[in-house]
Amino acid sequence: MLEVDDLACLKGDRLLFRGLAFRLQAGELLRVAGPNGVGKTSLLRLVTGLALAEAGEVRWQGCPIRRDREAFHRELLYLGHAPSINDLLSPLENLRFACAAAGDGSDEEACTQALVRIGLANQLDLPARVLSQGQRRRVGLARLFLSARRALWVLDEPFTALDVKAVADLAQALSDHCAGGGMVMLTTHQDAPFAVAPRVLDVGAYAC
Ligand SMILES: Nc1ncnc2c1ncn2[C@@H]1O[C@H](COP(=O)(O)OP(=O)(O)OP(=O)(O)O)[C@@H](O)[C@H]1O
Protein backbone atom coordinates (compact mmCIF):
# COMPACT_ATOMS: atom_id res chain seq x y z
CA MET A 1 0.00 0.00 0.00
CA LEU A 2 1.06 3.57 -0.71
CA GLU A 3 0.29 5.96 2.13
CA VAL A 4 0.62 9.72 1.94
CA ASP A 5 0.09 11.83 5.03
CA ASP A 6 -0.06 15.55 5.66
CA LEU A 7 2.00 16.37 2.55
CA ALA A 8 3.01 19.95 1.83
CA CYS A 9 4.73 21.19 -1.33
CA LEU A 10 6.80 24.36 -1.52
CA LYS A 11 7.89 25.86 -4.86
CA GLY A 12 10.19 28.84 -4.53
CA ASP A 13 8.54 30.84 -1.75
CA ARG A 14 5.05 29.61 -2.64
CA LEU A 15 3.26 26.86 -0.76
CA LEU A 16 1.30 25.01 -3.45
CA PHE A 17 -0.65 22.66 -1.19
CA ARG A 18 -0.63 21.31 2.33
CA GLY A 19 -2.33 18.63 4.41
CA LEU A 20 -2.67 16.35 1.39
CA ALA A 21 -3.33 12.74 2.31
CA PHE A 22 -4.49 9.56 0.60
CA ARG A 23 -4.09 5.79 0.50
CA LEU A 24 -3.61 3.68 -2.61
CA GLN A 25 -4.27 -0.03 -2.22
CA ALA A 26 -3.53 -2.99 -4.47
CA GLY A 27 -5.90 -2.99 -7.43
CA GLU A 28 -6.71 0.74 -7.26
CA LEU A 29 -6.43 3.40 -9.91
CA LEU A 30 -6.15 6.98 -8.67
CA ARG A 31 -6.62 9.98 -10.92
CA VAL A 32 -4.93 13.14 -9.67
CA ALA A 33 -7.10 16.06 -10.76
CA GLY A 34 -7.03 19.84 -10.60
CA PRO A 35 -6.45 22.91 -12.76
CA ASN A 36 -3.18 23.82 -14.49
CA GLY A 37 -0.46 24.74 -12.03
CA VAL A 38 -2.24 23.44 -8.93
CA GLY A 39 0.59 20.97 -8.26
CA LYS A 40 -0.33 17.61 -9.81
CA THR A 41 3.08 16.97 -11.35
CA SER A 42 4.72 18.28 -8.19
CA LEU A 43 2.69 15.77 -6.18
CA LEU A 44 3.77 12.88 -8.40
CA ARG A 45 7.41 13.90 -7.96
CA LEU A 46 6.99 13.94 -4.18
CA VAL A 47 5.28 10.57 -4.19
CA THR A 48 8.02 9.00 -6.30
CA GLY A 49 10.77 10.46 -4.14
CA LEU A 50 12.16 12.60 -6.96
CA ALA A 51 11.47 15.75 -4.93
CA LEU A 52 11.40 16.44 -1.21
CA ALA A 53 8.26 17.50 0.60
CA GLU A 54 8.14 20.59 2.79
CA ALA A 55 6.22 18.49 5.30
CA GLY A 56 4.55 15.12 5.53
CA GLU A 57 5.44 11.54 4.77
CA VAL A 58 5.17 9.03 1.92
CA ARG A 59 5.20 5.37 2.95
CA TRP A 60 5.43 2.29 0.78
CA GLN A 61 4.37 -1.01 2.38
CA GLY A 62 4.52 0.73 5.74
CA CYS A 63 8.08 2.08 5.36
CA PRO A 64 8.90 5.78 4.72
CA ILE A 65 10.32 5.90 1.19
CA ARG A 66 13.24 8.06 2.39
CA ARG A 67 14.41 5.07 4.53
CA ASP A 68 14.67 2.53 1.72
CA ARG A 69 14.48 4.39 -1.56
CA GLU A 70 16.00 1.53 -3.58
CA ALA A 71 13.42 -1.02 -2.45
CA PHE A 72 10.65 1.44 -3.31
CA HIS A 73 12.09 2.25 -6.71
CA ARG A 74 12.35 -1.44 -7.60
CA GLU A 75 8.56 -1.58 -7.37
CA LEU A 76 7.90 1.77 -9.04
CA LEU A 77 7.51 2.76 -12.67
CA TYR A 78 7.41 6.52 -13.19
CA LEU A 79 6.79 8.04 -16.60
CA GLY A 80 7.01 11.83 -16.64
CA HIS A 81 4.94 14.12 -18.85
CA ALA A 82 7.68 14.57 -21.45
CA PRO A 83 8.92 11.34 -23.02
CA SER A 84 12.67 11.14 -22.40
CA ILE A 85 13.82 9.96 -25.77
CA ASN A 86 17.13 10.22 -27.58
CA ASP A 87 16.32 11.53 -31.07
CA LEU A 88 19.29 9.79 -32.63
CA LEU A 89 18.23 6.35 -31.43
CA SER A 90 15.43 4.19 -32.80
CA PRO A 91 12.37 3.30 -30.70
CA LEU A 92 13.88 -0.13 -30.11
CA GLU A 93 17.22 1.31 -29.01
CA ASN A 94 15.48 3.89 -26.81
CA LEU A 95 13.34 1.25 -25.13
CA ARG A 96 16.25 -1.13 -24.57
CA PHE A 97 18.30 1.73 -23.10
CA ALA A 98 15.45 2.82 -20.79
CA CYS A 99 14.91 -0.73 -19.56
CA ALA A 100 18.61 -1.33 -18.99
CA ALA A 101 19.00 1.99 -17.16
CA ALA A 102 16.10 1.03 -14.88
CA GLY A 103 17.63 -2.36 -14.16
CA ASP A 104 14.96 -4.23 -16.10
CA GLY A 105 15.56 -6.82 -18.79
CA SER A 106 16.26 -5.26 -22.17
CA ASP A 107 15.93 -8.40 -24.23
CA GLU A 108 15.57 -7.42 -27.90
CA GLU A 109 12.66 -9.73 -28.62
CA ALA A 110 10.69 -8.63 -25.54
CA CYS A 111 11.28 -4.96 -26.35
CA THR A 112 10.28 -5.51 -29.97
CA GLN A 113 7.05 -7.19 -28.87
CA ALA A 114 6.29 -4.30 -26.50
CA LEU A 115 6.76 -1.78 -29.32
CA VAL A 116 4.59 -3.82 -31.69
CA ARG A 117 1.91 -4.02 -28.99
CA ILE A 118 1.96 -0.25 -28.53
CA GLY A 119 1.54 0.23 -32.28
CA LEU A 120 5.06 0.97 -33.50
CA ALA A 121 5.64 -2.11 -35.67
CA ASN A 122 6.45 0.07 -38.67
CA GLN A 123 8.72 2.48 -36.78
CA LEU A 124 11.00 0.08 -34.90
CA ASP A 125 14.18 1.15 -36.63
CA LEU A 126 13.48 4.77 -37.54
CA PRO A 127 15.42 7.50 -35.77
CA ALA A 128 13.16 8.88 -33.03
CA ARG A 129 13.51 12.41 -34.39
CA VAL A 130 11.19 11.57 -37.30
CA LEU A 131 8.40 10.19 -35.10
CA SER A 132 5.13 12.03 -34.54
CA GLN A 133 4.28 13.30 -31.02
CA GLY A 134 1.90 10.40 -30.45
CA GLN A 135 4.51 7.90 -31.62
CA ARG A 136 7.11 9.45 -29.30
CA ARG A 137 4.67 9.10 -26.42
CA ARG A 138 4.16 5.46 -27.34
CA VAL A 139 7.89 4.72 -27.17
CA GLY A 140 7.85 5.69 -23.49
CA LEU A 141 4.58 3.88 -22.82
CA ALA A 142 5.96 0.63 -24.26
CA ARG A 143 7.76 0.22 -20.94
CA LEU A 144 4.41 -0.54 -19.34
CA PHE A 145 4.37 -3.87 -21.14
CA LEU A 146 7.75 -4.75 -19.62
CA SER A 147 6.94 -3.55 -16.10
CA ALA A 148 4.24 -5.89 -14.82
CA ARG A 149 6.49 -6.81 -11.87
CA ARG A 150 6.52 -3.19 -10.74
CA ALA A 151 3.47 -2.84 -8.53
CA LEU A 152 3.11 0.94 -8.61
CA TRP A 153 2.80 2.85 -11.88
CA VAL A 154 2.92 6.63 -11.59
CA LEU A 155 2.13 8.29 -14.91
CA ASP A 156 2.08 12.00 -15.70
CA GLU A 157 -0.33 12.80 -18.54
CA PRO A 158 0.09 9.42 -20.27
CA PHE A 159 -2.78 10.05 -22.72
CA THR A 160 -1.34 13.26 -24.18
CA ALA A 161 -1.06 13.16 -28.00
CA LEU A 162 -2.55 9.67 -28.29
CA ASP A 163 -5.31 8.92 -30.79
CA VAL A 164 -8.67 7.47 -29.75
CA LYS A 165 -7.64 3.82 -30.19
CA ALA A 166 -4.36 4.31 -28.36
CA VAL A 167 -6.22 5.98 -25.47
CA ALA A 168 -8.57 2.99 -25.27
CA ASP A 169 -5.68 0.49 -25.45
CA LEU A 170 -3.75 2.34 -22.75
CA ALA A 171 -6.82 2.56 -20.49
CA GLN A 172 -7.21 -1.20 -20.93
CA ALA A 173 -3.54 -1.84 -20.07
CA LEU A 174 -3.85 0.27 -16.92
CA SER A 175 -7.10 -1.45 -15.95
CA ASP A 176 -5.43 -4.85 -16.50
CA HIS A 177 -2.52 -3.85 -14.26
CA CYS A 178 -4.96 -2.97 -11.48
CA ALA A 179 -7.00 -6.14 -12.05
CA GLY A 180 -3.76 -8.07 -11.51
CA GLY A 181 -3.21 -6.43 -8.12
CA GLY A 182 -1.12 -3.47 -9.30
CA MET A 183 -1.71 0.21 -8.54
CA VAL A 184 -1.85 3.17 -10.88
CA MET A 185 -1.66 6.85 -10.02
CA LEU A 186 -1.97 9.23 -12.96
CA THR A 187 -2.71 12.76 -14.03
CA THR A 188 -4.84 13.47 -17.05
CA HIS A 189 -7.10 16.24 -18.28
CA GLN A 190 -9.11 13.88 -20.47
CA ASP A 191 -11.61 11.09 -19.92
CA ALA A 192 -10.49 7.58 -20.73
CA PRO A 193 -12.50 4.35 -20.91
CA PHE A 194 -11.20 2.58 -17.81
CA ALA A 195 -12.81 -0.74 -16.91
CA VAL A 196 -13.60 0.69 -13.47
CA ALA A 197 -13.98 4.42 -12.86
CA PRO A 198 -10.86 5.73 -11.10
CA ARG A 199 -10.91 7.26 -7.68
CA VAL A 200 -10.22 11.00 -7.95
CA LEU A 201 -7.85 13.03 -5.80
CA ASP A 202 -8.50 16.75 -6.23
CA VAL A 203 -5.26 18.58 -5.45
CA GLY A 204 -7.22 21.82 -5.55
CA ALA A 205 -8.90 20.81 -2.30
CA TYR A 206 -5.51 21.15 -0.58
CA ALA A 207 -4.33 24.29 -2.40
CA CYS A 208 -2.97 27.14 -0.29
N1 LIG B 1 10.07 29.09 -8.05
C2 LIG B 1 8.74 29.11 -8.04
N3 LIG B 1 8.08 30.07 -7.35
C4 LIG B 1 6.74 30.10 -7.31
N5 LIG B 1 5.95 29.19 -7.94
C6 LIG B 1 6.57 28.22 -8.62
C7 LIG B 1 7.99 28.11 -8.70
N8 LIG B 1 8.29 27.01 -9.46
C9 LIG B 1 7.11 26.47 -9.82
N10 LIG B 1 6.08 27.19 -9.34
C11 LIG B 1 4.65 26.91 -9.52
O12 LIG B 1 4.46 25.58 -9.09
C13 LIG B 1 3.39 25.02 -9.82
C14 LIG B 1 3.89 23.69 -10.39
O15 LIG B 1 2.85 23.14 -11.02
P16 LIG B 1 2.74 21.63 -11.50
O17 LIG B 1 3.55 21.46 -12.73
O18 LIG B 1 2.97 20.70 -10.38
O19 LIG B 1 1.19 21.73 -11.83
P20 LIG B 1 0.20 20.79 -12.56
O21 LIG B 1 -1.03 20.73 -11.70
O22 LIG B 1 0.85 19.50 -12.91
O23 LIG B 1 -0.12 21.62 -13.85
P24 LIG B 1 -0.54 21.22 -15.36
O25 LIG B 1 -1.98 20.74 -15.30
O26 LIG B 1 -0.42 22.51 -16.09
O27 LIG B 1 0.41 20.16 -15.83
C28 LIG B 1 2.99 26.02 -10.89
O29 LIG B 1 1.82 26.72 -10.48
C30 LIG B 1 4.19 26.95 -10.96
O31 LIG B 1 3.84 28.24 -11.36
Give the domain-ending residue among 125, 149, 173: 149
DSSP class of residue 102 equals T
Q: Closest residue (by CA) to atom 26 of ligand 1?
A: 36
Compute the 3-state secondary structure of the chain and give helix, strand, coil in percent, each to the nearest 5. Answer: 35, 25, 40
* Atom number in ligand 1 closest to CA 44: 18
Return averaged pLDDT per consecutive 10 residues of the chain, 208 residues in all.
97 96 97 96 97 96 93 94 91 95 89 94 95 94 92 96 91 95 95 91 96
Within 6 Å (CB) of ligand 1, which residues are found?
A: 11-12, 14, 16, 34, 36-42
Query: Residue 3 falls within a domain, yes or no?
Result: yes
Q: Closest residue (by CA) to atom 27 of ligand 1?
A: 36
- Residue 153 pairs in a beta bridge with 77, 184
For residue 187, the domain's CATH number is 3.40.50.300
Task: Give the full edge-to-edge strand order of the sheet including 14-24.
Answer: 14-24, 2-11, 55-60, 63-64
ipTM: 0.96
Q: b/e map of 78-114 (b: 16 or more CB within 10 Å)?
A: bbbeebebeeebbbbbbbbbbbeebebebeeebbbeb
* Atom number in ligand 1 closest to CA 187: 22
C-alpha of 129 from chain center: 23
Hey, which of 20, 40, 155, 185 would you mutate to test ligand 1's pocket, going by the most ligand atoms within 8 Å of its Cβ?
A: 40
Query: Residue 106 falls within a domain, yes or no?
Result: yes
Residues 160 and 90 in one domain: no
Query: Residue 183 falls within a domain, yes or no?
Result: yes
SS3 (DSSP) at 146? helix
Residues 55 and 68 in one domain: yes
| Owning domain of residue 129 | 85-149
Rounded distance from Cα 110 to ligand 1 centre (Å): 37
Residues 36 and 89 in one domain: no
**Tally of structural domains, the chain:** 2
- Give CA separation, 97 vs 103, 127, 170, in Å: 10, 14, 22
